[in-house]
Copies of this chain bind each other. A is one copy, B any other.
Amino acid sequence: MTLFGSLPDLTTFEFNVVDNMFSLTVATMGAAALFFFFGRTLVAPKYRPALMVSGLVVAIACYHYFMIRLSWQGAYKFGEDSFTATGKGFNDFYRYADWILTVPLLMVELIAVMSLAKGLARPLLIKLVVAAALMIGLGYPGEVTNDWKTLVLFGVLSTVPFLYILYVLWVELGKAIATQPEAVQTLLSLARIVIVVTWMFYPIAYAIRGDSLPGAIPGIVPEKSGLGVVGTQVGYAIADITAKAGFGLLIFFIARTKSELLTEEERAEQVKAAGVMV
């Protein structure tokens, strides 16, 4: 159990790789938040809510990575020539707090940028948001347990909404993507792929946690190994940067492309609306 469990000793290098990766993530998420918030006026008003939500996601992640880094620094103390656990533990709940807030919002981003008819958007949105929240919520009891059976049970339970999300994204959303302008269909498909590929990292990290210690892979990475902890934390950071800042950038390009594709008439309509909501 990462939350209060014992952490392996780390070399100075190992400790700093994780510590620096957390700092890089704070900077990236913070910069992305500034870009999405200030950049919302670079797209037509219709697509601005999508950029606002992108901004929220990375702003929340920026805060959590700042806190994760403080927790990491509090979890270790510098010994003679290595870092040893202080016993305070490393607080993994920040990650779950982040995901429970941001993963449903990522679904909102994707639906918002498509600007579908309300009758089409609402049911898709409800399905995706509820499934995303269930997926994260059901994962947590497995994350904090030391019991193999509980870990597997909640791992499986959490996989059910994940598979349902895949079904909705590919089967139901697939039809909606086909109605979008050709110029953004590739970007939308790419956004969907980014979701699946980056999300695959999380269950892998969940599974390799091993039977008692963070990062232990039975038969490969010994218990109390620094490598497992470093790999897991750096992997989470890379997955989060891609799934949040990278995904948001795709949403921005989709919104920008759709803004440029507006006809004279639509533009005139938007100008009228812009008078109210610029």
Contacts and interface: CB of A to CB of B under 8 A. Distances in A.
Interface in A231-278: 259, 262, 267, 270-272, 274-278
- Chain A interface size, as a band, is 35 or more
B270 A27 contact: no
B60 A31 contact: yes
B271 A16 contact: no
Given A276-B267, A278-B278, A97 B24 contact: yes
B275 A26 contact: no
A123 B45 CA distance: 30
Contacts of A27: 60, 63-64, 97-98, 101
A209 interface: no
Query: Is the contact region of chain A dominated by helix, strand, or loop, or is it mixed?
Result: helix
A16 B4 contact: yes
A51 to B, nearest CB: 9
Counted per complex, copies of this chain come to: 2
Interface string A101-131: 1000000000000000000000000000000
Contacts of A60: 27, 30-31
Contact of A42 (B24, B31, B48): B48
Contacts of A63: 26-27, 30
B271 A267 contact: no
Interface in A45-78: 45, 48-49, 52, 55-56, 59-60, 63-64, 67, 78
B20 A91 contact: yes
Closest 9 CB pairs of A and B: A271-B275, A20-B93, A24-B97, A270-B276, A278-B278, A31-B56, A31-B60, A44-B276, A274-B275
